[in-house]
């Protein structure tokens, strides 16, 4: 169902949005990712969960080359990630990333945060970039904050700006690295609501999160990682109601109260 | 929850209802105005009382003789040393007549008198360009930048050194001197050291080992050698090894020495700022597809330079004062022209040296203080933007 939708929207370069093939990564001698195989279809929403230190953030950071890897292959939208910087930038333009700590640029206004990359990377004229930014800020429900600086916003608002900033590049894939983990409880919902809307519009999403409610609601598949390996991949229904692996069961029993 | 009070209260103490509002009274005289300020700031505690007394005593000791020397007993006009000799039974004051007579030498050095309009025009160009750059709300700042960083240097070179084809006679740099040299060395040092320093700082943090090694070696070598040595080598040792025809101009050699020296210091200042930028800023920039140069130009450097402004200006002030060391290369900067003049028999009096040095101190202090105040205002302006 999801794949059909993506076929309707845009012609795609690769068969999969993201292909990860027997990926291995070491931090020094520490084997942080071991034999990762994961294909994400266009328009698919994949939630990656697992205990801290399981390598889930490292995995998605490999997908836009914020981390390098030693063995295996990652193909993003038909582009093989190599050491070639041009290709890396090509991939990064198409992959939006939202960080746990927002990482907004504090010396720029909200609007400038959103227009910087489109203007300097996509060479979009300023007026067009600003129009796009204002439209997307409205979409994340903070159009009135455009001229403020990040420090003036609440955490939830900052994270929504970060989402808008990523969307301004018109990415084909959006990745979220624990987007709500640094937020106060009352702000988590406003960010998740934006993410749910984004999912409903058919965006390909790769989300590392502990929000199991979100996973249940929007994920097409849930990936469970532990110790640098993928332990289990399943649809949310099956994953939550009938986990197969012992470690998955243990994790779910601890996380769901 | 009834508790027995420790001290039995009478009926009247336990209950109270205000019947009329309390009148607003003037504060005690010791809390406001001059008295209040003095109480709070000068006599708030016994150590503070002691410090206040000590400070007053120190000022009483220093200020009156200084004022007497510089102003009251000072000689303001005269044509030679006789004017500045101490009157019968009195003390000699500062010999400002000497400074007045020598002023044009202090400003232009030995620059030919008939060509000094060129120097004045140069001062005007630098003031205009510099003012344009320093005034942050100035109109057409881009144009100002082109003017200051491209037009002014070329025009200055043509003006000061000369270009016979357009009728400007060549004036050898050995004739330059005084404020002219100080302004040239300082401006070139300030304008070039920051960009070179930024490049060196980025080089030191580069992923490329060769670039990193070269930056580290350069910075550590230059930092490890006194400026006076750098200038000495440039002026004395270089000609020993290089044929005279190849040897560049003496002033140019000193300029390059000062420039590289200041750049090495500036590199460390900038690096401190770069270290302070969180990793997330780099990652966010890279994740948006910004390449190395754009990432640094748009994200990292604006933040890094902003937090290092006090240190950058500190380096500029140090550089400004260090320009006095070019005298070891045989160049007559402002301080050197005073040094030379005070030895002139025509003005030889017991107070000539003191007057000359006092004049130099006042000029340097005013310039440095203005730089510091300007930096302060920029900082406050940025802090206002940060509070937001």
Interface of A with B (CB under 8 A): 64, 66, 85, 89, 92-93, 95-97, 99, 101, 103-107, 116-117, 120-121, 148-149, 151-152, 162, 165-166, 169
Q: What is the pLDDT of residues A99-145, one digit of tens each?
A: 999 999 999 999 999 999 999 999 999 999 999 999 999 999 999 99
DSSP string, A182-216: TS-HHHHHHHHHHHHHHHHTT-EEEEE-S-HHHHH
pLDDT in the model for residue B12: 66
Mean pLDDT within B56-72:
93
Among B338, B42, B320, B341, which Cα is nearest to B182's? B320
Q: What's the pLDDT at B279?
A: 94
Rg (CA), chain B: 30
The pLDDT assigned to B386 comes to 64
Nearest residue in chain A measured CA to CA from B382: A107
CA B312, CA B310: separation in Å to the nearest integer? 6
- Shortest Cα distance, chain A CAs vs residue B277, angstroms: 11
Residue A22 C-alpha, separation from nearest chain B C-alpha, in angstroms: 24
pLDDT digits (tens, 9 = 90+) for A192-226: 999 999 999 999 999 999 899 999 999 999 999 99
Backbone angles phi, psi at B299, to 5 degrees: -110, -55
| pLDDT, average across residues B344-360 | 90
What does the pLDDT read at residue B25?
86
Question: Is B386 at the interface with chain A, CB within 8 A?
Answer: yes
Query: Parallel, antiparallel, or unpaired: how do β-strands A204-208 and A45-49 relate?
Result: parallel
Residues contacting residue B52 through CB under 8 Å, at least 6 positions apart: B42, B43
Report how far apart, in Å, the C-alpha atoms of B338 and of each of B70, B85, B335, B362 are. 17, 19, 5, 13
Alpha carbon of A157: minimum distance to chain B alpha carbons (Å): 16
Of A148, A151, A169, the CB nearest to B288: A169
Place B9 in a pLDDT band, splitting at 50, 70 and 90.
Answer: low
pTM score, two decimals? 0.82
Residue B5 has pLDDT above 60, yes or no: no
- Phi-psi label, residue A206: left if phi above 0, alpha if psi -120 to 50, beta otherwise: beta
Which SS3 state, helix, strand or coil, does residue A30 take?
A: strand
- In chain A, residues with a C-beta closer than 8 Å to the C-beta of B278 are 103
Write down the mean pLDDT value for chain B: 88
Q: Point out the residue among A89, A97, A116 whose CB comes nearest to the CB of B291.
A: A89
B302 to chain A, any CB pair closer than 8 A? The answer is yes
Whether residue B262 is predicted with pLDDT greater than 90 in this model: the reply is: yes
Yes or no, beta carbons of A151 and B388 under 8 Å apart = yes
Residue A12, pLDDT > 90, answer no
User: Tell me, what's the pLDDT at B290?
Assistant: 92
Per-residue model confidence (pLDDT) at position A9: 45
- Min Cα distance A167 → chain B (Å) is 10
Using a CB-CB distance cutoff of 8 angstroms, which residues of chain B are in contact with residue A58?
Answer: none
ipTM of the complex: 0.89
Residues of chain B contacting residue A166, judged by C-beta atoms under 8 Å apart: 287-288
pLDDT, tens only, B98-155: 999 999 999 999 999 988 999 999 999 999 998 888 888 888 888 888 898 888 999 9
pLDDT in tens, B285-329: 999 999 899 999 999 999 999 889 889 999 999 999 999 999 888
Query: Per the CB < 8 Å rule, is A103 touching B289?
Result: no
Report pLDDT for B11.
61
- Closest partner residue to B289 among A93, A101, A106, by Cβ? A93
Query: From the list A64, A89, A103, which residue is nearest B281 (CB)?
Result: A103
Q: Which H/E stretch holds residue A131?
A: helix A126-139
**A152 vs B280, B289, B388: nearest CB:** B388
Check residue B29 and give its pLDDT.
Answer: 76
Residues of B in contact with A105 (CB under 8 A): 281, 284-285, 299, 303
List all residues of chain B from 303 to 322 with a beta carbon under 8 Å from chain A.
Answer: 303, 306
User: What is the mean predicted confidence (pLDDT) over B213-233?
Assistant: 91
Nearest to A169 among B284, B285, B289 (CB): B289
pLDDT of residue B235: 78
Query: How far is it, in rounded angstroms, from Cα B313 to Cα A40?
Result: 53
């Amino acid at each position: 169902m999801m794949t059909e939708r993506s076929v309707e929207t845009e012609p795609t370069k690769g068969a999969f949005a993201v292909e990860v093939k027997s990926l291995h990564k070491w931090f020094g001698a520490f084997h942080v990712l071991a034999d990762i195989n994961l294909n994400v279809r266009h328009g698919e929403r994949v939630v990656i969960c697992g205990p801290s230190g399981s390598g889930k953030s490292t995995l998605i950071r490999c997908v836009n080359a914020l981390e390098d890897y030693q063995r295996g292959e990652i193909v993003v939208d038909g582009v093989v990630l190599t050491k070639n910087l041009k290709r890396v930038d090509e991939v990064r333009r198409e992959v939006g990333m939202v960080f746990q700590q927002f990482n907004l640029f504090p010396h720029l206004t909200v609007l400038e945060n959103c227009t910087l990359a489109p203007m300097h990377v996509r060479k979009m004229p300023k007026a067009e970039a600003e129009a796009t930014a204002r439209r997307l800020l409205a979409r994340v429900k903070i159009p009135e904050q455009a001229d403020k600086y990040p420090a003036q916003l609440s955490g939830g608002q900052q994270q929504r700006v970060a989402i808008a900033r990523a969307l301004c590049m018109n990415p084909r894939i959006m990745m979220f690295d624990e987007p709500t983990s640094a937020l106060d409880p009352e702000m988590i919902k406003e960010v998740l609501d934006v993410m749910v809307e984004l999912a409903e519009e058919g965006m390909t999403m790769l989300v590392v999160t502990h929000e199991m409610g979100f996973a249940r609601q929007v994920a097409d598949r849930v990936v469970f990682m532990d110790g640098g390996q993928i332990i289990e991949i399943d649809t949310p229904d099956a994953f939550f109601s009938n986990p197969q692996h012992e470690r998955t069961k243990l994790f779910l029993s601890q996380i769901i109260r | 929850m009834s508790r027995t009070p420790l001290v039995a209260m009478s009926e009247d103490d336990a209950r109270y209802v205000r019947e009329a509002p309390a009148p607003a009274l003037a504060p005690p005289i010791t809390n406001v105005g001059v008295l209040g300020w003095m109480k709070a700031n000068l006599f708030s505690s016994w150590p503070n009382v002691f410090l206040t007394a000590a400070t007053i005593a120190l000022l009483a000791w220093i200020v009156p003789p200084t004022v007497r020397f510089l102003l009251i007993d000072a000689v303001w006009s005269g044509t030679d040393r006789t004017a500045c000799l101490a009157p019968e039974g009195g003390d000699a004051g500062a010999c400002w007549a000497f400074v007045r007579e020598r002023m044009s030498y202090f400003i232009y050095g030995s620059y030919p008198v008939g060509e000094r309009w060129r120097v004045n025009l140069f001062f005007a160009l630098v003031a205009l360009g510099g003012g344009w750059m320093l005034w942050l709300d100035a109109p057409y700042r881009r144009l100002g930048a082109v003017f200051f960083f491209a037009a002014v240097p070329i025009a200055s070179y043509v003006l000061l050194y000369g270009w016979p084809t357009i009728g400007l006679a060549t004036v050898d740099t050995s004739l330059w001197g005084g404020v002219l040299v100080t302004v040239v060395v300082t401006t070139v040092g300030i304008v070039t050291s920051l960009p070179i320093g930024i490049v060196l700082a980025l080089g030191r943090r580069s992923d490329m080992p060769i670039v990193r090694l070269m930056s580290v070696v350069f910075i550590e070598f230059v930092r490890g050698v006194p400026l006076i040595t750098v200038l000495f080598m440039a002026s004395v040792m270089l000609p020993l090894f290089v044929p005279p025809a190849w040897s560049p101009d003496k002033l140019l050699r000193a300029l390059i020495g000062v420039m590289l020296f200041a750049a090495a210091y500036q590199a460390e200042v900038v690096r401190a700022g770069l270290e302070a930028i969180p990793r997330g800023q780099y990652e966010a920039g890279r994740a948006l597809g910004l390449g190395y140069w754009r990432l640094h130009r748009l994200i990292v450097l604006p933040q890094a330079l902003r937090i290092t402004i006090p240190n950058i200006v500190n380096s500029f002030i140090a550089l400004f004062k260090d320009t006095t060391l070019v005298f070891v290369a045989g160049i007559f900067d402002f301080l050197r022209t005073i040094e030379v003049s005070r030895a002139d028999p025509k003005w030889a009096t017991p107070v000539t040296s003191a007057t000359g040095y006092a004049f130099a101190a006042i000029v340097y202090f005013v310039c440095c203080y203005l730089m510091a105040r300007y930096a302060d205002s920029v900082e406050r302006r940025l802090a206002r933007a940060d509070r937001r």
